[in-house]
Structure formats: structure tokens, C-alpha cells
């Protein structure tokens, strides 16, 4: 599966609009600073003039004059920073603005696709608009401990801490999470919280319900005309920064599902790519439903987070009716 020309053009339009918006914002900031600090604008003019001289001397090879000029520009730049901060502006207030600093809102780092471009492609290819809706309403800012008590509360607090550490250490080391326990206790919620944080940092995330994932794999695998689509799907599943499989166990489990699940988990482990799984299954049910290899891979390489308590979705509905 690959993007159509119309989809690719739409992504490019999004990048252009992002660049235009950031350019307008930077221009507004310049006008704000120049209005508040006329001396800052004057220094900017001096630096621009000296930069022209700098370029001329560089071409002429006048090393002595060039060194003096570079020193003067450095002094003026420092004065500009002091003016900004003394007036209450951040030191980097007038630096170029990028939504994705890694690729500077171009989608590419050299000849390689940036992770932000890959995420845009993933969202279009696998119709993941639902994840955007999910992380807008379910994130660490909206997290609440209201519906937990006793041992259930301790487990949820531990899981939240592990989730936040997962995000904080994501760029430093390889890690996986396995959320399991009773229905409606926050497993999918915490997966969404992590996804939102990592998406905001420019990482690529593929989010599938177990049922949707294995249905898609089956549709590609059993149609000989879709070999290329299957190859590209595997490539995305293996290489995205974070893979989330939600509600494992809700799919119709058979030998195909079991082999595909092990292959996916094993390949991502070999590539040191993070995976999060949530399920309502207990550990014994997990072992009984899937192979010993799957059970071993998860229990050996994942942080296990058990959640318990009443179904929060039902508790919220009952609370709404009583209020």
C-alpha cells in the first residue's frame, strides 16, 4: 500500500501551510520586539551591514579584517540577547520557528524521510484519525485518580509512573509495556497518553486494535495481488518508533493470528523497537490462548502492569446520572 498522488500532495500542502504559519508568527514577533525595543532593530541593522562586509572580506581572503569583523558581530549579537531578556522576552524569541525542528518542517532530513512525514503517511494509510481524537480527550493532563481506591489505586499510580518513565526514557533505551487486567480500568487510556506524548515529540506511532490489526494482515496475506501492500505494511509495523496493540484477545484467535503476533513481537524486539500491548486477559489466559513463544516473549521483554477495579466508563455514567 502506498500513498496516492492526491494524498501526497495534501501532505505537501500541510507542510507549506505550517511553514507559512510559522513565518507569519516569527514576523509578528519581530514587529512586537522592534516596536518595544527600537535599539534592538538598530543593532539588527548593524549586524546585517557587517554581515555583508563579512561576506566581501571572506571572498577577498582578508583574514585579519575578517577576524575583527567576526568579533564585532559576536559582540552585537550578545547585546541583542541581553536587550531581549532584559525586556522580558525569551532569549530565543526571534529564532526561526519550526513545528518539527528535526526536518525544519520539510518532511526530510537530507534524503531520508523525517518521522513526522512517516506519521502523516501512517495516519493516511491506516486511517488512524481516531488516535488523534483519543489523545485530545485522554492524556496525562486529563488523568484522574477519582475512581480508584485501595489496592486498585496503588496499581494505577504505579502504572502511571511507569508510563511517564517510559516517555521520559524513550529516546535513551529500548522498552516495552504490557497492560493487563479487568475491563475499563485505564489500560487503553494510558496507551493513549503515551502515544500523545510521543507524537508531540515527533515520533511515529502505529495504533491498532488487535481485531483491526489481524484483519488487515489477513486481507493482505490471503490475496496474492496484494504482496506489495503486505510488504509495505510489514515494513511500517516493524519500523515505526512505537507500535500499540490495543485489546489483545478480542480478535478471533487461530494459528494465523498466533504466528503473526509472534513474528511481529519478535521482529520488533530484534530491531529494538518499542511496543505496548493492552489486554483484558490474565497471564494464564494469555499463555493458554497464544503459544508459549508469545507468552515467553512478552513476560521476558515487557514491563508488566496489572490494573484492577470497577469499569471506569460505567462508574462515570452512573456518576453523571446521580449528579
Looking at the domain assignment, is residue 298 inside a domain?
yes
Looking at the domain assignment, is residue 99 inside a domain?
no
Same domain, yes or no: 163 and 295 = yes
Same domain, yes or no: 278 and 167 = yes
Same domain, yes or no: 307 and 187 = yes
SS3 content of the chain, % helix, strand, coil (to 5): 65, 10, 25
Same domain, yes or no: 154 and 293 = yes
Strand partners, 278: 179
Give, for all 323 residues of the chain, the pLDDT tens digit: 567 788 788 899 999 999 999 999 999 999 999 999 999 888 888 888 877 776 776 667 766 666 777 777 788 888 889 999 999 999 899 999 999 998 999 999 998 889 888 888 887 776 654 666 777 777 898 888 988 999 999 999 999 999 999 999 999 999 999 999 999 999 999 999 999 899 888 888 999 999 999 999 999 999 988 888 899 899 989 999 999 999 999 999 999 999 999 999 999 999 999 999 999 999 999 999 999 999 999 999 999 999 999 888 787 776 654 43
CA distance 28 to 94: 10
Q: What is the pLDDT of residue 321?
A: 46
Q: What is the pLDDT of residue 76?
A: 84
Same domain, yes or no: 82 and 130 = no
Residue 49 CB partners (closer than 8 Å, separation 6+): none
Q: What is the pLDDT of residue 121?
A: 84
Domain boundary among 26, 59, 86: 86
Q: What is the pLDDT of residue 73?
A: 77
Same domain, yes or no: 153 and 253 = yes
Domain boundary among 71, 86, 101: 86
Looking at the domain assignment, is residue 217 inside a domain?
yes
Same domain, yes or no: 290 and 202 = yes
Share of residues in the chain with pLDDT > 70 (%): 92
Looking at the domain assignment, is residue 111 inside a domain?
no
Same domain, yes or no: 11 and 142 = no
Same domain, yes or no: 194 and 313 = yes
Write out the residue range of the structural domain in which residue 20 sits: 5-86
Residue 61 CB partners (closer than 8 Å, separation 6+): none
Looking at the domain assignment, is residue 120 inside a domain?
no
What's the pLDDT tens digit per position in 128-172? 546 667 777 778 988 889 889 999 999 999 999 999 999 999 999
Domain count, the chain: 2
Q: What is the pLDDT of residue 6?
A: 80
Domain boundary among 29, 62, 86: 86
Looking at the domain assignment, is residue 48 inside a domain?
yes
Same domain, yes or no: 203 and 72 = no
- Residue 30: how many CB atoms within 10 A of its CB? 15
83 Rama class: left (phi>0) / alpha (psi -120 to 50) / beta: alpha
Provide the whole-model pTM.
0.72
Looking at the domain assignment, is residue 114 inside a domain?
no
Same domain, yes or no: 151 and 228 = yes
The CATH number linked to 267 is 3.40.50.300
Same domain, yes or no: 244 and 135 = yes
Looking at the domain assignment, is residue 119 inside a domain?
no
Q: What is the pLDDT of residue 173?
A: 93
Amino acid at each position: 500500500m502506498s500513498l496516492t498522488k492526491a494524498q501526497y500532495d495534501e501532505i505537501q500542502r500541510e507542510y507549506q501551510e505550517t511553514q507559512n504559519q510559522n513565518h507569519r508568527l516569527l514576523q509578528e514577533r519581530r514587529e512586537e520586539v522592534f516596536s518595544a525595543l527600537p535599539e534592538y532593530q538598530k543593532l539588527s541593522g548593524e549586524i546585517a551591514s557587517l554581515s555583508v562586509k563579512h561576506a566581501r572580506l571572506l571572498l577577498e581572503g582578508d583574514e585579519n579584517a575578517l577576524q575583527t569583523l567576526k568579533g564585532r558581530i559576536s559582540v552585537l549579537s550578545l547585546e541583542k540577547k541581553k536587550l531581549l531578556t532584559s525586556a522580558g522576552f525569551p532569549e530565543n524569541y526571534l529564532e526561526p520557528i519550526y513545528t518539527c525542528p528535526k526536518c525544519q518542517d520539510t518532511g526530510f532530513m537530507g534524503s531520508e524521510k523525517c518521522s513526522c512525514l512517516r506519521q502523516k503517511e501512517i495516519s493516511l494509510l491506516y486511517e488512524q484519525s481516531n488516535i488523534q481524537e483519543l489523545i485530545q480527550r485522554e492524556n496525562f493532563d486529563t488523568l484522574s485518580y477519582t475512581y480508584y481506591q485501595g489496592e486498585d489505586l496503588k496499581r494505577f499510580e504505579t502504572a502511571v509512573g511507569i508510563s511517564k518513565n517510559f516517555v521520559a526514557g524513550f529516546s535513551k533505551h529500548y522498552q516495552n509495556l504490557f497492560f493487563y487486567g479487568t475491563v475499563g480500568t485505564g489500560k487503553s487510556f494510558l496507551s493513549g497518553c503515551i502515544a500523545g506524548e510521543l507524537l508531540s515529540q515527533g515520533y511515529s506511532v502505529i495504533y491498532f486494535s488487535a481485531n483491526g490489526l489481524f484483519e488487515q494482515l489477513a486481507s493482505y496475506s490471503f490475496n496474492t495481488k496484494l504482496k506489495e501492500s503486505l510488504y509495505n505494511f510489514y515494513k511500517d509495523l516493524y519500523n515505526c518508533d512505537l507500535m500499540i496493540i490495543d485489546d489483545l484477545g478480542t480478535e478471533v484467535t487461530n494459528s494465523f493470528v498466533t504466528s503473526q503476533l509472534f513474528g511481529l513481537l519478535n521482529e520488533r524486539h530484534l530491531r529494538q523497537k518499542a511496543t505496548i500491548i493492552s489486554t483484558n486477559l490474565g497471564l494464564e489466559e494469555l499463555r493458554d490462548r497464544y503459544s508459549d513463544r508469545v507468552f515467553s516473549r512478552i513476560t521476558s521483554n515487557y514491563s508488566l502492569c496489572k490494573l484492577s477495579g470497577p469499569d471506569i466508563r460505567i462508574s462515570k455514567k452512573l456518576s453523571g446520572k446521580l449528579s
